[in-house]
Amino acid sequence: MNAGADPLAAYRVDAAPWYRSSAREVELYERAWVHRLPLLLKGPTGCGKTRFVEHMAWKLGRPLVTVACNEDMTAADLVGRWLLDAQGTVWQDGPLTLAARHGAICYLDEVVEARQDTTVVIHPLTDARRLLPLDRKGELLRAHADFQLVVSYNPGYQSQAKDLKPSTRQRFAALAFDYPPPEVETDIVAHEAGVTMELAARLVGLARRTRALREHGLEEGASTRMLVYAGRLIRDGMDPRDSCAMTLTQALTDDPDLSAALRELVHATFP
């Protein structure tokens, strides 16, 4: 890498991500940022957590390194490893190390999907030490002054086997997210899908009815993201029932009875 090269160039958020605030989350994040507090964002899938982090990274002028966590992710995937090249062995920083070394926001999306022995590596970064031990490299990395760790998860969806340990949870300040109020969600769907407010309102009404089915066995109702997908297909000329079948009914469940209930809701919304 050239001496003048920006190691975080690929992670800079150049354009403002559109985000519609529904409470005081922007103000609260900014106050946490002043102290570089590690933040836990909790809320249902597709409610806007990732877009919120992108918006805040842009607003604060900080690069954003995002990691989609999964059960196959190892500690080395986060912190880095030795690799072979033409000159021999060379150390390559992982995304967490890259962010900590150079001062980015590191966002671990759905952190509980990672193995618990992997997430333990973040502990020294989330207290007053702000350290990242790179045992394989023999380095104790002190985090850059502008480094911040943000993680997200969906507490309503996770099983007991996939939940944050108290020893991890208590290291974070937390912001709770939910689906926005109907008028805000309608505005979001209309803007993101490029549809009329009338159509967006019908989709939001449909989503709210699907969310009520959680009390009857549905794991999750339709997310705001799903509504945007449906709206885009309808905008491009697809029949609303077909659009909702693809983006909501078939995506939400394989259970025949729940599928039938969802189809009835769709037909009632688009008779």
DSSP one-letter string for 20-82 = ---SSHHHHHHHHHHTT--EEEE--TTSSHHHHHHHHHHHHT--EEEEE--TT--HHHHHEEE
Note the pLDDT tens digit of each residue in 4-43. 689 999 999 999 999 999 889 999 999 999 999 999 999 9
Based on the domain organization, do 203 and 107 belong to the same domain? no
Which pLDDT band, with edges at 50, 70 and 90, does 156 fall under?
low
Based on the domain organization, do 188 and 121 belong to the same domain? no
Query: What is the average per-residue pLDDT within 169-186?
Result: 94
Query: What is the average per-residue pLDDT within 238-267?
Result: 96
pTM tops 0.75: yes
The whole-number pLDDT of residue 2 equals 53
Based on the domain organization, do 156 and 201 belong to the same domain? no
61 vs 49: CA distance, rounded Å = 18
pLDDT above 70: residue 159: no
- Structural domain contains residue 259: yes
Average pLDDT, the chain: 92
Note the pLDDT tens digit of each residue in 71-90. 999 999 999 999 988 888 99
Based on the domain organization, do 161 and 212 belong to the same domain? no
CATH number at residue 69: 3.40.50.300
239 vs 150: CA distance, rounded Å = 40
pLDDT above 70: residue 158: no
Query: What is the average per-residue pLDDT within 187-203?
Result: 98
Query: What is the average per-residue pLDDT within 225-249?
Result: 97
Domain that holds residue 194: 182-269
- Structural domain contains residue 4: no
Render the burial of 207-243: b for 16+ CB within 10 Å, e for the rest: bebbbebeeeebebbbbbbbbbbbbbbbeeebebbeb
How far are the Cα atoms of 54, 101, 133, 144, 153 from residue 48, in angstroms, in the given order? Answer: 10, 28, 32, 28, 12
Task: Judge whether 49 and 177 are in contact, CB under 8 Å.
Answer: yes
- Structural domain contains residue 93: yes
Based on the domain organization, do 67 and 147 belong to the same domain? yes
Choose between 40 and 166: higher pLDDT: 40
Based on the domain organization, do 148 and 57 belong to the same domain? yes
The whole-number pLDDT of residue 262 equals 96
Based on the domain organization, do 32 and 125 belong to the same domain? yes
Calculated CA dihedral for residues 59, 64, 70, 72, nearest 10 degrees: -170
What are the residues whose beta carbons fall under 8 Å from the beta carbon of 189, sequence distance 6 or more?
Answer: 195, 200, 203, 204, 224, 227, 228, 231
Based on the domain organization, do 17 and 118 belong to the same domain? yes
Residue ending a domain, among 131, 161, 176, is: 176
What domain count does the chain have? 2
Tokens of 196: 């009329």
pLDDT above 70: residue 173: yes
